[in-house]
Amino acid sequence: MRISSGFDVNASALTAQRLRMDIISSNIANADSTRAQVVDGQAQPYRRKVAVLSENSQTPFAQTLNSAMNGKSSASGVKVTAIQEDHEPFKLVYNPTHPDANTDGYVQMPNVDIAKEMVDMISATRSYEANVTALNATKAMLTKALQIGK
């Protein structure tokens, strides 16, 4: 087991959670963007994006479990594998004076739910804080271990 493996795991988690918070911030900022992209000559609203996280190792779970039970370190961390668009339908809002209103007076608005985004932001923030705490605990343990040798 490398002495820095705990730092590597926490660093990968911090990076992933920071990217998650960036994506959530982008979703909130574009919650009212009705012209985010053009598809077939038609302006389309902003589509919510979501980060997909996965284990940073290609090792199957059974092999990872066996190596951990045998005392071998298999710390690998987490990574963002993709940033996917949410395919929920756009919200229709009645506003006949809006420049993007259709013939019936409805405007397609982004599929961003601010309440859901705030819950996701709190979750990402708490995960980030937990990883900072774990990183500080690892640092404190290593510092104490170095003081034993004095």
**Which pTM value belongs to this model?**
0.81
- As a three-state string, the secondary structure of the chain is CCCCHHHHHHHHHHHHHHHHHHHHHHHHHCCCCCCCEEECCEEECCCCEEEEEEECCCCCHHHHHHHHHCCCCCCCCEEEEEEEECCCCCEEEECCCCCCCCCCCEEEECCCCHHHHHHHHHHHHHHHHHHHHHHHHHHHHHHHHHHHCC
What is the count of structural domains for the chain?
Answer: 1
User: Is residue 80 assigned to a domain?
Assistant: yes
User: Is residue 59 assigned to a domain?
Assistant: yes
pLDDT of 117-147, one tens digit each?
999 999 999 999 999 999 999 899 888 888 8
- The stretch 98-125 carries a mean pLDDT of 94
Domain that holds residue 133: 5-31+49-85+112-148
User: Is residue 56 assigned to a domain?
Assistant: yes
